[in-house]
Structure formats: structure tokens, C-alpha cells
Structure 1
Amino acid sequence: MSKEKSNIILIGMPGSGKSTVGVILAKMLAKRYLDTDILIQNIEKRSLQDIVDKEGHMALREIEQRVLLGVHCRNHIVSTGGSAAYSEPAMMHLKRDGIIVFLDADLPALEQRIHNYQTRGLAKRPEQSFQDLFNERLALYEKYADITVESSTLTQDQVCDAIVDRLWINPPYVSCKTQPAA
């Protein structure tokens, strides 16, 4: 017996729009919203940057994996941290009840949007440039994505519309029973 996937999981680089798009999409589809970066901070009672500064980027990845494996929800929009895709167990766990949507922003757009690269709490090696991080993660995002939406030149509302359009093209993932406006 197969059950309908009820969650939409947003993945992508920092600055791709996951958090903002997630909130708008949750309102559009009448779903609950979960930001896993905020969940990590609430569970750990400290910022992502504090984790990286005190324990290193691998500690953040391990904490993120543990938290993601503990997420059990239905009918949610879930915005993941940019490093979620490093954990295959976590991604497969999220995929069981969710459609994975990769918000694919190109490097120039991300560099324009991200001004706090060094203090943002990213799970990256200390010497790693933003371009190196982008190159390293791109294949992971593509590997797990069920749907890819190019988000470099679109507004957040346009990204949401594109996601909804793609969900209606792929009906096994749609849990909203109303028809989109004509």
C-alpha cells in the first residue's frame, strides 16, 4: 500500500530562498511550516555559527543529521539547511513522506544575496570558498531532487508558483485537493 506524500522538502544553497519561499508556499497550500535550521537552534539552544565556532563544521552536520532523522510530520513545508544533502540517511528519511524540491540559484545570484558568508553558520571547511561550497553541494542537490526550480531570476512568489505548477504536473505528490486558479 503506498501513501500519498504530504510534505514538500526544500533544499538548496544558502540564499536560494528556502526559508522565504517555504513560508509563502505553506500559506499558498495551507500546510504547516518547519525550518530545520531554527529547529536545530531551538534543540541545541545556540546558533549554528556557535556550533561551528566551538565544535567545527562536521559537528554541525552530525547534529543536523540527528535532528532531520527525528523529523516526523505530515502536511508540512520543510525548509532544510543548505548542508542537509550531505546526509543520505536524513535525505532518504525526508523523502519517504515528501517531495524534494531543489531551489537552484546560480552562483552570481547567491553571491549577490549572501553577505554574511563567514558568519552565517554554514557547515563548511574553514578555508572553503563559497564557490567551492557551491560546486561541492550542487551534485548532492541534483541527486536528491524530485523537482528542480531555477530560482536565480524569479521572485519568491514566482518560485512558489513554479513549484505549485510542477506539483500539479506530478500528481502523486499533491496533497492539496483544490484546483489551482485559472
Structure 2
Amino acid sequence: MSRIEPTAAKDPSAGTLYPGESPRIYRALFNVFPPYLFGGVRVKHIAADWTSVRVDYTVRPWNRNNPNRAAFGGTLYSMTDPFFAIMAYGQLGRGYRIWNITGSIEFLVPGRGTVTTTMGLSREQVAEIRQATESGAKSITEHSAEIVDGRGTLVARAAQQLYVRRLPD
């Protein structure tokens, strides 16, 4: 079996990715991931430059918290859980260890109908992470996302701390 060599990402400031690691492929894979597929969560968009992600969750009778007839809290959090790390990975490339070290969610009102979150990780934020980890030091950054319903009502706020460290060459 031959090894697939990394190819340069389109943006020269970005890391290198293996063939097939495109936002489109990630979106498709997330949408067939069983907890998302059967839970009603859909990744609607991942920006081509990995700077934003939009995720929807349609609350239906088979995927809701029946006593409240509203969204499951865990499903609301799952809408945000992997995406700041995925955006960092997409922009930084394979030369980094990236994971969430903390996560929390604040529930404000019951989520009904379709709830949506749009998360962003700007190139400037990633440049700061890249600079902070250049010498091998770790970077811990805070990120948050708001989940809103179809009327724009704030349903929940999720927060995470993202750990990034450059891997030794």
C-alpha cells in the first residue's frame, strides 16, 4: 500500500492537508455520522477557507425531549462541539495537536422548530494561534457560539476552550 503525500492547501498561509480533506467532504461525513443523522442535526455549510460553519437541528417528535417537547440539551451542545477544532485543523493543517479542553452550554429557552448556530474562527485568530505555538508552546483560546430559533430568539450559548500545540518536526 502506498503512502499518500500531503498536498499544499490553496492558501499558502494554511497548513497542508491530505487529498480529500475538503470542507465539502467533512460536511458530507458529518451529515451521515449516525448521532447527527438520526438526531436531526445537519451541517449546512463549512466555508471553503474553514473560517465558518453553520449547523441546524430540526426538533421533531422522535428527536426531542418529550416532557418539554423541546430540543435535547446534549444535541444542542453537539451542534457546536467539534467545529472550532475542525476549523482550526482546516486552517492550520496536520502539524498541530488540536482538541477542546473544556465545554459548557447555558440553556436560556426551550428550543423548538429548527434551531441554528453559526460559528466562526477568523484568519486573524488562527494567525495568533500559529504565532503563539511557533516555539512549541501551547495555545488555549476561548470560543463561543449562540444557538437561535427560527424567530431569532436566543435558545442557548455554548462555550469552549480550544487547546493547540505545534507538533515537533
Same fold (TM over 0.5): no
Q: TM-score, normalised by structure 2?
A: 0.25
Considering fraction of residues, name the structure with more strand. Answer: 2
Larger Rg: 2
Tell me: higher relative CO, structure 1 or 2? Use CA pairs within 8 A at least 6 residues apart.
1
Structure with the larger helix share: 1
